[in-house]
Amino acid sequence: MDFSEINIPILIASLIVTATPLILAALGELIAEKSGVLNLGVEGMMIIGAVSGFIIGVETGSALLGIIGSAVGGALLSFLFAFIVLVMKANQVASGLALTIFGLGIAALLGHPYTGIAPPQFQSFSLPLLEDIPIIGVMFFQHDFVVYFSILASIATWYFLKYSRRGLVLRSIGENHDVAHSLGYKVIATRFASILFGGALAGLGGGYLSLVRVPQWTEGMTAGAGWIALALVVFSGWHPFRLILGAYIFGGITILQLNLQAIGVNINIAILSMAPYLATIIALVIISVSRIQGNKGAPGSLGVSFVKVT
């Protein structure tokens, strides 16, 4: 056992890569939930993003178009969900679950001819000058642009929700859609946009998996990442920064436990495998409890269909 064999800068760099799809998917879900829509179809939207991004990437030979395609794919699937729950007023929980099942199936069908193909290479987008800083450069500044985008998107989401007028409207619709409606705000339109945004980000997370992290298409490759993203939203108390923190803790412990195994640490591996889940939940619960006290941050109208009263 030799702890010096663990390469800390690379460990940090890989935890960021591992956490990025989770951050993207969870951030999209956060916006949807803040507007009052519970979309349990994250896993389905992610896998659709993974397959559509991969197909477009392979067909066009451009990883960038592939990444964009994954967001479009995720958004298209979420459009279906938005129509069902907002226009047809269907139950959100059941529709979301159905969306996941549907997404997994259709992705397997679409992706069938694409198993065993290598996608176009993704150029890493090193930040000039910063990437040359020893150690820190490897950790933070030699990633691809999706990683930076996930962080910028989190900051933008936080600013949007906290300081912008539209963000305030979105939150008020999520808290009480009847009141927001009586004040003249467009409940359905806002929620529609939020769901599409959520779908696009979940799709992006999936595309990141199939184009960058693995990178190849295989059936069922999201392997539950969508559910982890959903849990992250709740445990972060609907806060973008705590969400990033949670995703990094999760990614960090995932990578750390692999590293510990590789140097031959004598810890029960079942415990190591479960550690990422446990640690993330414990950390986020502790932070949420101490910060919010009572108000868990859940939007008041979460999961409730809006029916216009005339």
Q: In the complex, which residues of this chain contact other proteins (CB under 8 A)?
A: 1, 5-7, 10-11, 14, 18, 97, 100-101, 104-105, 108, 112, 115-116, 118, 209, 213-216, 218-221, 223, 225, 254-255, 258-259, 261-266, 268-270, 273
Count CB-CB contacts under 10 A for residue 280: 26
> Shortest approach of other proteins to residue 105 CB, angstroms?
6
Q: Which is nearer to other proteins, 135 or 269 (CB)?
A: 269
> Shortest approach of other proteins to residue 212 CB, angstroms?
10
- Which 3 state secondary structure label does DSSP give 274? helix
Rounded Cα gap, residues 271 and 275, in angstroms:
6
Q: Which is nearer to other proteins, 216 or 305 (CB)?
A: 216
What does the block give as tokens for 105?
Answer: 């199936």
Rounded Cα gap, residues 44 and 93, in angstroms:
14
What does the block give as tokens for 230?
Answer: 């959903």
Please check whether residue 49 is in contact with residue 74, taking contact to mean a CB–CB distance below 8 angstroms. Answer: yes
Distances from the Cα of 60 to the Cα of 52, 63, 65, 67, 68, angstroms: 12, 8, 7, 11, 12
> Shortest approach of other proteins to residue 64 CB, angstroms?
18
Nearest alpha carbon to residue 267 among 11, 5, 1: 1
Q: Which is nearer to other proteins, 181 or 213 (CB)?
A: 213
Q: Which is nearer to other proteins, 10 or 133 (CB)?
A: 10
> Shortest approach of other proteins to residue 222 CB, angstroms?
8
Q: Which is nearer to other proteins, 194 or 259 (CB)?
A: 259
> Shortest approach of other proteins to residue 36 CB, angstroms?
24
